[in-house]
Amino acid sequence: MKKDFAKLNYYEMLDIKPDAAFFEIRHAYNAALQIYEADSLVSYSFFSREERKEILNLLEKAYSTLINGKGRKNYDNQLMQTGVLASPGNKAAARKPACIYDVKRQSGTTVLPKNNKAALRANVAQNKRINEILSKDEISGADLKAIRNELGVAIEKIASETRIRMDYLIGMEENKIDRLPAVAFLKGFVKSYLKCLCVEPVEGICARYIEGLARMGKNNETGVF
């Protein structure tokens, strides 16, 4: 699982390579700000106002450091000393930044029309298979996928509306623990997924899914939960 946001380095926070140009840093910063706006579905789903403020402060600190030539050089030296960033003579060993969201999707994000949402709610209420799944004590990734298929919603539609990376959505449906982000992020992703499908209660279903993953992680001795 990926690290919590506060534990990411500045390049990872902005989802850029260590050798990114200054214009790329500015672009990444502006893109990240849009992700954490109050009206962003992902941000609204699982970040409180205080958490969002903390993340925005971290992004501001990352940007102000990397956009300044001297500040960036000092920061790079710190990363080299800890082995996070490769020295100039060994650039091939540098770690790639971790990407939490599919930022590139933001310009093409679409939201399901209200009439579609109403139809989804009606289908959820009337679908026997979905109600059987929702009555279970534990919800698996396969259950999420089954619900989505019953409603006829393409996974691409969820990715487009939530801005969540496709590989994370697939990982959620396949219970691929090692391919999922940190639990704090995962909870929000699951909630956004459920909201797209108009499946309720979001909090309860999300909790049952996370509990199932936690149990699976312990059984597999992965140590990620």
**What confidence tens digit (pLDDT) does each residue in 101-116 have?**
554 444 444 445 555 8
Q: Which residue has the higher pLDDT, 215 or 142?
A: 142
The predicted pLDDT at position 30 comes to 82
d(CA 163, CA 102): 6
Phi, psi of 196 (to 5 degrees): -65, -35
Beta-carbon contacts of residue 16 (< 8 Å; ≥ 6 apart): 24, 25, 28, 97
CB count, 10 Å around CB of 33? 14
**110-133 average pLDDT score:** 82
Least confident of 43-47, 48-52, 213-217: 43-47
**202-214 average pLDDT score:** 90
Mean pLDDT of the chain, nearest integer: 80
CB count, 10 Å around CB of 206? 22
The percent of residues in the chain predicted with pLDDT above 90, rounded, is 42
d(CA 209, CA 157): 21
Q: pLDDT tens digits, residue range 46-92? A: 567 788 788 889 999 999 999 999 999 999 999 999 888 877 655 44
Beta-carbon contacts of residue 99 (< 8 Å; ≥ 6 apart): 15, 165
Domains and CATH numbers, the chain: 5-99 (1.10.287.110), 105-219 (1.10.260.40)
What DSSP assignment string belongs to 14-37? Answer: HT--TT--HHHHHHHHHHHHHHTS
Least confident of 14-28, 106-120, 166-180: 106-120
CB count, 10 Å around CB of 216? 17
